[in-house]
Structures are given as C-alpha cells and as structure tokens.
Structure 1
Amino acid sequence: MEDNDFVYAVARIRSKEPDLLSASFMEQLLTAKDEGESLRLLNERGWGMDGQRAAEILRSEQAKTWDLMAELMGERIHILNVFRCENDFHNLKAAIKDACSEQKIEGIFVDGGTVPETLIRAAAENQDFSLLPHWMSDVGKAASELLLKTGDGQLCDCVLDRAALEQIREAGEASGEEMIRSYAELRCASGNIKIAVRSCRAGKDRAFMERALLECRSVSKARLLDAAEIGLEAICSYLEHTAYREAVEELKKSASAFERWCDNAVIQSIRPQLRNSFGPGPLAAFVLARENELKTVRIILSGQRNGLPEQVIRERVRETYV
C-alpha cells in the first residue's frame, strides 16, 4: 500500500480530529467539583452513557479507536502494533505472576493488545508458551521459569520489560514510517532511563542493569550503565549531553514527572501530522492522541475519585494534540 492509498483513511481521520478533547475541555474536567460532574461532561461529549462507570467508558473509547483503525487500515493495521505490544507484555507479566500465585487478583489485565488475554492466560497457566507469537513465546517461558526458580518478581519483570522494549523497537523499524520509528526510539530510550533510575535507587548491581537495558540510538547503554553505578546525579549529568537534556529537571522531581515529560514530547513530535495528508502518519498520530487523552482523563477521574487536590492532579495532566 503506497502513501496515496491512505488518502481516504486520512480524510476520515481529519473528520474525527475535531472530536478529540482539547486543552480547554481538560480544564473543564480539572475544575469540575467531583468525578460525577466530570463524567457528566464526558457524557455530553459522547463518551459513555449516564450512570456508566469510568472504567467502562474508558474501555469503550479505547475500543472505538482500534475499531476505527481496523476499518481504515485493514491488513496494514500491523503498522500500528508498536503502540499495542506493550499491553501484550503487561498481560504476559500479569498472567505469569497470576499462574504462580495461589491468590488470584482481579483487574490485573489490560485491553488494547494484539494477543487475546485468554490466550496469554492459557499459555501461563498451562506452561505452554508455544501458544503465543514467536516474539512472546521464548521470553515468556524464560521469565516464567525464572520466577518459579528464584521467586524474584523483579527479575521476572526485568526480563519482560526489556523484551517489550525490544519488540517496540522492532515494530517501529518494521513500520517503515519515520514518525513511528521516532516514537519507538523515544519509548526505548525513556524506558532505559526509567530502568536505570529505578535500579540505581534500589541498589541493583551492574549485572542486573546489563540484563535490563537494551541498546538504542539516542542513549548509550554503556554510558547509562556507568552513570547508574555512580548514582542519580551521574545519570542526570550524562543525560544533559543527550536529546533528553530538557527532561533532567523532571527526572529529578519524580518518576511521574519524567513520564509526563515523555508523553508530552510524543505529542509535540506528532503535531506536524495534523498538516500531513499522505501515508499512515496521521493515523498513527490519531491513535497516540487518543491514547494520550484516555490517559489524561483516567488521571483526572482517578484523582477526583481519591480526593486529590486539583493542583496535584493538574501537575500530572498531559498536553493535548489539538
């Protein structure tokens, strides 16, 4: 499929972009008196129905996005797998831990992946990871055996988190779309940074970090490892000389502040797609915009539900695409 073959799909996306939630609407949600008022505002925008729970509304809105992409892209929807495979690895992690635990926990799986949750659960419960796609099967088996042998949940997470980043990188390259490749690079680099910071704070040794980090173009694995062995200040000092220099202050504040910076960087990088009429870029950008607004709405509703001050919630809110 050539770029011109996406012209109709892009035209459809253009008709949907005005329905994206704007910064002014997010401000309305932020200043709503409680979660109930926010839900009513969302209902008025066509999100869910009166009386529907927040989780159901968010799940429905996510499904709408992927139903639209399936309609517009058909067999080429695999180009967008880079945005979905992380959910697959989240579910694989949850399934492996659930299978190894006597106490079953509800609500640990997420929607929006490429592999059915039921299949992932069956693979973990039956220790038959051949049921899964090749990019999940070997690492799933290795992580499960590691957890059963060592009982170390963090080590299991380490193996699967790295595999998720590797799959994001590979899916980004396979997409053939520069915007998607750039997104994948940002996700891998920011993932490396978060792993290095967490490992540093937890006192993990170099061998653990060596196993957890992966190579990427914009952040040197070797230099990040060296810095993490010294401490957070050394990590920040190294990052001052990379494309992530503007994130350093946020990283010093907290992990959530750094994640917010990363999400905002993605939105800033995809805005040129609003003026692009060819190729899959505008569709990919629309997916990211929708995922971003879902995350922001979830943050606001959760904060209001838990009685957090407006300013605390505001500090976590992401930029909007439109």
Structure 2
Amino acid sequence: MANRIKDTDYLVISARIKAMESTLLTRERMEQLLDARSGEEVQKILQDCGYPELDAADPEAMDAALAAAREATLSDLADGAPDPRYIDVFKLKYDYHNVKAILKAEAMDTDPGHMLMDMGRVPAAELREAMRSGELDNLPPFLASAVTEAKEVLQTTRDPQLCDIVLDRWSYKDMDAVAEATGSAFLHGYVQVQIDAANLRTLVRTLRMGKNEEFLRGVLFEGGEIAPDAVLAVSAARGGGLAELYAPTRFQATAESGARALQGGPLTEFEKLCDDVVGDYLAGALFVPFGEAPLVGYLAARETEYTNLRILLMGRGAGIDPDVIRSRLRASYV
C-alpha cells in the first residue's frame, strides 16, 4: 500500500511556488498594462512576467503563445508535485474540449486538428485515434464514459449543444472524482465552488432566455454546495427566492447581482462576480505555508491570468475604454 502523502511532502514545491508568484500579473501590473502608452511599454511589462511577445493584432498567434505558457506551467509543476492528480484537475478540461472538437469535426466532415489542444491527460492524437477506433479502454474511465454517451446523444439528436452539455457534466463529475480521490478538502472545495458558480450562472441565463425548470434540470451539475433541486425551485418561481437561497453562502452578493440581472440589469457584471467568487475562495491559499493548497491556488491564478491577459490585450487593441476593460477583468488572489 502506498504511503499517504503529507503536507510536508509539498515543502519543496511550495517554496518554488512562492518564488514563482513574484511573476504573476498582479492588480498593479494590470493597471500598468491598462495605462501603458505604447505597445513597447506593454511588451516590457509582459517580459518582466516571463511572457513572449503577445500581439492582439494576431489573436491566433497570441492564443498559441498563451497555450504554450499554460502547457509549460503544467509540465513544470507536474515534475515536482507529489500527487499528479492535482495537476490532472487542471488538465482534464482539455480532454473534454478535444472530445467536443473531434465530435463536431466528424459531424461536419472536417479535420479537427487546428482545434485540438495537447494539454490534457491524454495526448490529442491518442484520444482522436481511440475515438476513431472505438477502443476506449485505455482512456480515463470517466472520459471513456463521456465519449460513449456524447456520441450516442449526437447521433440520436444531431444537437451539438446537447452533446456539449453531456461532456460538461462528465467533466465536472471527473473533476469532482479526482478531487475526492486526493482527500484534499481544499481541492474539493475548489471544484465545489466552480460547480456552484456554473449552476448559478446557468440559472440566471436560462431565466433570462425564458426557459422553464425542465430545461434547466438537464443542464445543472451535481456536486455543489447548493443542490440542483433548490436551484430548480428558484427557476419554478421565475427567480423568486434567488437572493435568499444564496444568502448564507459565499455567493450572496453574486446572487443579488443575478436578481438585478433578471430585472434587466447588466449580465456582464453578474457573470464576472461568479468568477470572482472562485478567485476569492482560492485566496485562502495565500495563508497556507505548504501543502497542496499553494499548488492549486497558483495553477488557478495562472488560469485566471491567461483569461485576463486576453481580455486586456484584445480590449486595448480594439480601443476599448480602460474602465470598460477593467470592469471585465476577473479577480485573482494577487
């Protein structure tokens, strides 16, 4: 029987992460990027954070550079993580992205190559071949089940949106199972808060679209702090009780914003707050000297950083007012 991994086994990688945090894109650095008067000034700030040249005029190249940075981070930390499953939680979403791309390409009789991202647990070419041959035994069990069900749904309904919903549900199930298997309360909490954010976002979106609770039932995820049945009850009441349901949780302010969005308020602010709650949860990692929490927090902070960089650089390139860009940036823990 393998020895149980202890917090102290993370001493070395925790120390590395504390050093690596110095290159994160802090709020101060994002303000500097917003205020920069030239592209050269922007590149200097990004260079100090370890990024290559990122050109918003070429979004495809910029996305490729950000993907390469993401892949390098995951690969770097995978080498020092005592338990690789903490890295898997951040990699597995790319497996599900690739399944979506492959299935859609098959349906349209096109090549998915340009849409695949080789950052999952399973190499993209290997996953593609397994799906082509139907030999799924070597895939992670949840992923294999997801491929089987998604194929059936797509073949039966010809509805790519339903196929995506199936894969998203399996992705969260997979993430939750990996977190549970590690025994980490912090990692499990991270997955749980993401599920709650996704369900709250979906509730408000479906109500704004005029969809009923039966539609919502098919797109909610299990595993959050708020049970799907409680969310469905709010849907049945056409949004009544939304703020009250989330009042005892970390989503209190977000739900209040959601209630305003249902009355015609801005949806952008609400959706940003959903993401910010996840960032606030991760901020707890800053107060943990060693263990898995600093690793999880850092990886999640990098994911938020890649999103923010794209929003910021594309916004600057389009000449969007800095205050508008600022309002769209997601909260990080630095």
Q: 2:63 aligned with 1:73, yes or no?
A: no
Inter-partner Cα distance in structure 2 for 1:257 and 1:106: 35
Contact conserved, 1:96 with 1:125, CA < 8 A, in 2? no
Inter-partner Cα distance in structure 1 for 2:13 and 2:215: 45
Contact conserved, 2:207 with 2:238, CA < 8 A, in 1? yes
Inter-partner Cα distance in structure 2 for 1:112 and 1:237: 40
Q: State the TM-score, normalizing by the size of structure 2.
A: 0.84
The 3 A distance-change label for structure 1 pair 211 and 128 is farther
SS of the equivalent of 2:108 reads coil
Amino acid at match of 2:303: E
The 3 A distance-change label for structure 1 pair 40 and 98 is farther
Q: Deviations over 1:92-126 (max 9, x none)?
A: 22221121113556753345322222233334444
* Ranges in structure 2 where 5+ consecutive residues have no aligned partner: none
The 3 A distance-change label for structure 1 pair 257 and 34 is farther
Q: 2:202 aligned with 1:221, yes or no?
A: no
Q: 2:145 aligned with 1:138, yes or no?
A: yes
CA shift for structure 1 position 60: 2.6
Q: 2:204 aligned with 1:197, yes or no?
A: yes
Inter-partner Cα distance in structure 2 for 1:286 and 1:168: 18
Q: 2:54 aligned with 1:42, yes or no?
A: no
Other-structure match for 2:298? 286
Amino acid at match of 2:321: P
Which of 22, 27, 35 is 1:23 aligned to?
27
Other-structure match for 1:260? 272
Contact conserved, 2:54 with 2:62, CA < 8 A, in 1? no
Inter-partner Cα distance in structure 1 for 2:65 and 2:281: 28
Other-structure match for 1:306? 318
Inter-partner Cα distance in structure 1 for 2:65 and 2:301: 17
Inter-partner Cα distance in structure 2 for 1:285 and 1:81: 14
Other-structure match for 1:7? 11
Q: 2:68 aligned with 1:56, yes or no?
A: no
CA shift for structure 1 position 317: 0.9
The structure showing larger relative contact order (alpha-carbon pairs under 8 Å, at least 6 residues apart) is: 1
CA shift for structure 1 position 50: 8.1
Contact conserved, 1:35 with 1:301, CA < 8 A, in 2? no
Q: 2:217 aligned with 1:210, yes or no?
A: yes
Q: Deviations over 1:118-142 (max 9, x none)?
A: 2333344445544532101122121
Q: Deviations over 1:195-228 (max 9, x none)?
A: 3333334444544432322333521211211222
Amino acid at match of 2:181: A
SS of the equivalent of 1:214 reads coil
The 3 A distance-change label for structure 1 pair 290 and 225 is same
SS of the equivalent of 1:219 reads coil
Inter-partner Cα distance in structure 2 for 1:69 and 1:136: 23
Other-structure match for 1:183? 190
Contact conserved, 2:78 with 2:84, CA < 8 A, in 1? yes
Q: State the TM-score, normalizing by the size of structure 1.
A: 0.87
Amino acid at match of 1:246: A
Q: 2:149 aligned with 1:149, yes or no?
A: no
CA shift for structure 1 position 263: 2.9
* Ranges in structure 1 where 5+ consecutive residues have no aligned partner: none
Q: Deviations over 1:138-187 (max 9, x none)?
A: 22121122112211122112211211122222222222222211111101
Q: 2:238 aligned with 1:231, yes or no?
A: yes
Inter-partner Cα distance in structure 2 for 1:4 and 1:146: 46
The 3 A distance-change label for structure 1 pair 256 and 57 is same
Q: Which shows bigger deviation, 177-186 or 50-59? A: 50-59
Contact conserved, 1:35 with 1:304, CA < 8 A, in 2? no
Inter-partner Cα distance in structure 1 for 2:216 and 2:16: 45
SS of the equivalent of 1:63 reads helix
Inter-partner Cα distance in structure 1 for 2:27 and 2:49: 14
Contact conserved, 2:212 with 2:236, CA < 8 A, in 1? yes
The 3 A distance-change label for structure 1 pair 304 and 227 is same
The number of residues matched between the two structures is 321
